[in-house]
């Protein structure tokens, strides 16, 4: 039995609360099967009060690595040996690599966002961008935009103005980017910002299943043909926001591309193997269509 599957299989997982809705186990276990990688990826529901114990337990058990989701992405940083450059600036970690008890944190959401938007880099650079939300997803989006796309202006809108004001100052200090404006939701300024933006990004959960009739914007007159609208929500694949954008000819980008590419980066960090992006994308698409 020395060479059996289980004696050579490494354990990976995701910690968060709740985690039952996560697609990560489905994605990584399919990738393992497609690449012949001997890993098993499991979800671990970890309450906020148990985070430190859970991280220590994963080290003790020799778990190769794990993803981190809400509500732990920021708090988990204090339990790591080091963090990557992008994770340090974003201030949040979604992937951890365990190297003999030394834990390194990464933010592979940045890679997912970059891969999604890269085909439009020339159009986004030097243009105006509007971002909805001021949570962890927004942090990764702002970092990626500033670092890789260099828009002339970023409009930040959030339900709680205090949070967007904090991010404005945060990225001004961290990345010396001074062209972020905070705008109130449902104000005349919001309408102008959206209409004048080349790229519109929703980083909130508005429109996510089962609330598929919700949208951060409900007027398709706000969109135009040369715009790009990116919704980080991936279930459903085509949110109401994206449907409205397409009605006026805007380019609609769903969150599934980002989800798959951030998973691909995590997978490669853990296994040093190439992730089968297209095959996994098709598998998740088929799953969601059912």
- Average pLDDT of the chain? 94
**Cβ burial 133-171 (10 Å sphere, 16+ → b, else e):** bbbbbbbbbbbbbbbebebebbbbbbeeeebbeebbebb
Cα distances (Å, whole numbers) of residue 85 to 21, 42, 124: 29, 27, 23
Residue with tokens 């949570």: 135
Q: Nearest CA to 131 among 202, 232, 37, 234?
A: 202
Calculate mean pLDDT across residues 243-266: 96
Which of the following is catalytic: 2, 64, 73, 225? 73
Instruction: Write down the pLDDT at residue 21.
Output: 85
Tens-place pLDDT, residues 47-105: 999 999 999 999 999 999 999 998 999 999 999 999 999 999 999 999 999 999 999 99
Measured distance CA(9)–CA(18) in Å, rounded: 26
What is the per-residue pLDDT for 1? 44
Phi-psi region of 232 (alpha: psi -120 to 50; beta: other; left: phi over 0): alpha
Q: How far apart are CA 222 and CA 188, in angstroms?
A: 12
Per the confidence metrics, is the pTM higher than 0.75?
A: yes
Q: Give me the sign of the Cα torsion angle 241, 246, 249, 251.
A: positive
> What digits encode the pLDDT tens for the residues 7-23?
679 999 999 999 988 99
Token pair for residue 132?
């909805």
**Does residue 148 surpass a pLDDT of 50?**
yes
For the stretch 21-58, pLDDT in tens is 899 999 999 999 999 999 999 999 999 999 999 999 99
pLDDT the model gives residue 89 = 96
Catalytic residue flag (residue 102): no
User: Domains of the chain, with CATH numbers?
Assistant: 5-107+259-289 (3.40.50.10860), 111-253 (3.40.50.720)
């Amino acid at each position: 039995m020395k060479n059996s599957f289980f004696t050579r299989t490494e354990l990976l997982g995701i910690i968060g609360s709740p985690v039952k809705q996560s697609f990560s186990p489905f994605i990584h276990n399919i990738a393992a099967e497609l690449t012949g990688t001997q890993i098993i990826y499991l979800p671990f529901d970890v309450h906020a009060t148990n985070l430190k114990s859970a991280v220590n337990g994963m080290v003790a058990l020799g778990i190769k690595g794990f993803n981190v989701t809400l509500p732990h992405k920021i708090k988990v940083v204090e339990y790591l040996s080091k963090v990557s450059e992008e994770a340090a600036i974003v201030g949040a970690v979604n992937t951890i690599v365990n190297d003999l008890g030394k834990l390194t944190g990464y933010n592979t959401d940045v890679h997912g966002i970059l891969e999604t938007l890269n085909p439009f880099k020339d159009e986004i650079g030097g243009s105006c961008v509007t971002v909805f939300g001021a949570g962890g997803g927004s942090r990764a989006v702002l970092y990626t935009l500033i670092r890789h796309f260099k828009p002339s202006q970023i409009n930040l809108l959030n339900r709680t103005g205090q949070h967007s004001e904090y991010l404005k100052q945060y990225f001004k200090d961290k990345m010396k980017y001074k062209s972020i404006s905070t705008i109130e939701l449902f104000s005349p300024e919001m309408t102008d910002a959206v209409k004048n933006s080349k790229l519109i990004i929703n980083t909130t959960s508005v429109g996510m299943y089962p609330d598929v009739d919700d949208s951060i914007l409900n007027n398709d007159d706000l969109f135009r043909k040369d715009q790009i609208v990116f919704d980080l929500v991936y279930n459903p694949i085509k949110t109401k926001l994206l449907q409205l954008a397409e009605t006026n000819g805007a380019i609609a980008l769903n969150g599934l591309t980002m989800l798959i590419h951030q998973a691909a980066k995590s997978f490669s960090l853990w296994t040093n193997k190439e992730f089968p992006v297209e095959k996994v994308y098709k598998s998740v698409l088929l799953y969601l269509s059912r």
